[in-house]
Structure 1
Amino acid sequence: MLLEKVLLCTDFSPPAEKLVKCIAELQKSGLREVVVLHVIDIDSGEAQDEALQQKNEEKLAKIEREMEEMGLQAKGIITSGVPSVEIARAAEEEAVSLILLGSHGKGYIKSRYLGSTTFDVLRMTETPLLIEKYLGIEEGKMEPYCTQKFSKVLIPVDFSEHSIEMMEKIKETKGIQGVILVSVVEKSENQQELENSKKEWKERLAIMEEEFLYHGYEVQSHVREGTASRNIMEVAEEEGATLIALATRGTGAIEKLLIGSTIDAVARQSKNPVLIFPSR
């Protein structure tokens, strides 16, 4: 199951502490076990501050107790190193099914848009990564999106094997009521080729629609043209999506290095939480 065991990454910043609130929502969708990870960045000098370390251990223990009081299995880990490396290592060693990161924080994530750590993790792991977004940024409230995140999921479809695998994983997740399928034709030699591609993709999406309907989901589909990232975010806003799910493609060096411009743009700029399935 996608949400059975989650690695919750925290730097103990206020936004990261608020991320703990999202665990209750994930529990409704099948979460049973939480591994809470704090990485001491070797470049921060934090490792030499014994008083700070004591406070961090107390904060971690508090989060563990909160998880256990919710009826979840909980384990806390404090380690030092390069955050992205340690996150990927913990995900593998603990055999988690999902990594949960916030889009704001003092260490892992900096500023309104995502920092490099998230994309470094994507290059190093095969574990799906859920990037929580925050509401009320302009007002300084920084409340995590959380509520009913999986109720209406937007799935960009490029008909690759990996995007199909991603859809199967999403079907296993509890609490999903609606699905929005989006395909974007980014390039075409001429207008006729564009129309042919759109017609073909509409037909293929219609088949997928039927499958989702058969399993009891509300489903919509869209075929757009232009820049994929812009169209994905526009449809998400128009249709009231609560989550955008994306699959990376390929296993080559270039894909591992760049991850993909569409994923990069959506993960950084989307107002919605983003779930990314790395290629295997």
Structure 2
Amino acid sequence: MLKHCILGFDYSESWQKTCDRLPSVVQMADIRRLTIVYVVDTTRRMNIEDSEAAAANHLKELATHLSGELGIEVDYEVRRGFAATELNEAARHHNANGIIVLNQSHSAGRALFYGNITLNLARITRVPLLILAADGPVVEPTAPVLLATDGSAPARAAQRCFEGFLKNGRHGLVLWVETEHDEDADIINNLTADIISRHEQVVSRHVKGDAVQQIVKTAEAEQAALVILGKRGTTPIQDLMIGSTAEGVARQSRQPVLLIPANTAF
């Protein structure tokens, strides 16, 4: 699936949690190569560890360690600038299949999430963005994947990704949260029926209520290996909004979340 991923690195105390989650994530997403990217933020006062030489030495040791632990190719790169922009550019430069980041502030409030690297990446990325919650569990790589769908165009791209994760017989759950604004019940019912007809290991669930709360609740109850959602925004102006449901789930979910841009091909 996500053969080559950019892995965002920082010096935070929480970053070790990313390393703890990588073995299951690598197995689950069939990752064959990681490029660790650290971005020197030129807008902040630099510490010794922020120098490119110091960062490169640290990343070299980390890449060697992770390569041995994960059994895959791991390289590294140091960039300068704004973190979200440079991680996105690294993905473009390396023709990567995805970006992996640790969301350290999902429980600290909406305002903080709006200002952090994760949301900025969600706005601009043209490749799938895999978000790992700092306080989330280490998932079982063979656990079911959850597709949250509303029948929209972004949800169709997410569906293609979801079906890719089912190729090895993995179980899946298609979740439709009906809200008072839904007008496409027949479309979603037909879409769900089509998926189930082609994948006998998939079940569906139709619930009513707040979409973010229901998706987060279901993902945790099912101990989902991954929550897959479509990301709105296919133009620079639309990128300012990734969709309230996608943003809310990315901010609140303790299970890994994979945001899929509408134009992603699988």
Using structure 1 for the length normalisation, give the TM-score.
0.80
Q: Which residue of 2 aligns with 1:233?
A: 216
Distance in 1 (alpha carbons) for counterparts of 2:79 and 2:233:
31
| One-letter amino acid matched to 2:97 | S
Q: Which residue of 2 aligns with 1:86?
A: 86
Q: Residues 123 and 167 of structure 1: is their aligned pair in 2 closer, same or farther, counting only changes over 3 Å?
A: same
Q: Residues 76 and 225 of structure 1: is their aligned pair in 2 closer, same or farther, counting only changes over 3 Å?
A: same
Distance in 2 (alpha carbons) for counterparts of 1:176 and 1:41:
43
After superposition, the C-alpha distances for 1:194-228 in whole angstroms (9 at most, x for unaligned) are 8x965664454223212221xxx3x2211222322
Distance in 2 (alpha carbons) for counterparts of 1:131 and 1:150:
18
Whether contact under 8 Å (1:28, 1:175) holds in the other structure is no
Question: Is the aligned partner of 1:223 residue 2:195?
Answer: no
Whether contact under 8 Å (1:150, 1:175) holds in the other structure is no
- Of 181, 184, 207, the residue aligned with 2:177 is 184
- Note the 1:157-236 alignment, pairs <5 A: 157-173=149-165, 177-188=170-181, 198=185, 201-213=188-200, 217=201, 219-236=202-219
Q: Which residue of 2 aligns with 1:43?
A: 43
- Note the 1:48-197 alignment, pairs <5 A: 49-50=47-48, 52-53=50-51, 54-69=53-68, 70-104=70-104, 112=108, 114=113, 115-135=115-135, 145-149=137-141, 151-173=143-165, 177-188=170-181
Q: Residues 223 and 149 of structure 1: is their aligned pair in 2 closer, same or farther, counting only changes over 3 Å?
A: same
| Secondary structure at the counterpart of residue 127 of structure 1 | coil
Q: Which residue of 1 aligns with 2:13?
A: 14
Q: Which has the larger radius of gyration?
A: 1
| One-letter amino acid matched to 1:56 | A
| Secondary structure at the counterpart of residue 21 of structure 1 | helix
- Deviation larger for 6-15 or 67-76: 67-76
User: CA offset at residue 50 of structure 1?
Assistant: 4.3
Whether contact under 8 Å (1:151, 1:175) holds in the other structure is no
Question: Is the aligned partner of 1:261 residue 2:216?
Answer: no
| One-letter amino acid matched to 1:23 | L
Unpaired segments ≥5 residues, structure 2: none
Q: Residues 175 and 62 of structure 1: is their aligned pair in 2 closer, same or farther, counting only changes over 3 Å?
A: farther
| Count of residues in correspondence between the two structures | 255
| One-letter amino acid matched to 2:224 | A
Q: Residues 253 and 4 of structure 1: is their aligned pair in 2 closer, same or farther, counting only changes over 3 Å?
A: closer
Distance in 2 (alpha carbons) for counterparts of 1:8 and 1:14:
16
Distance in 2 (alpha carbons) for counterparts of 1:246 and 1:180:
13
Moved over 6 A (4+): none
After superposition, the C-alpha distances for 1:228-277 in whole angstroms (9 at most, x for unaligned) are 21221232234332321110235255531121111111111112111101
| Secondary structure at the counterpart of residue 199 of structure 2 | helix
After superposition, the C-alpha distances for 1:76-95 in whole angstroms (9 at most, x for unaligned) are 11111011110110010011
| Secondary structure at the counterpart of residue 236 of structure 1 | helix
Q: Residues 18 and 236 of structure 1: is their aligned pair in 2 closer, same or farther, counting only changes over 3 Å?
A: closer
Using structure 2 for the length normalisation, give the TM-score.
0.84
Whether contact under 8 Å (2:233, 2:241) holds in the other structure is no
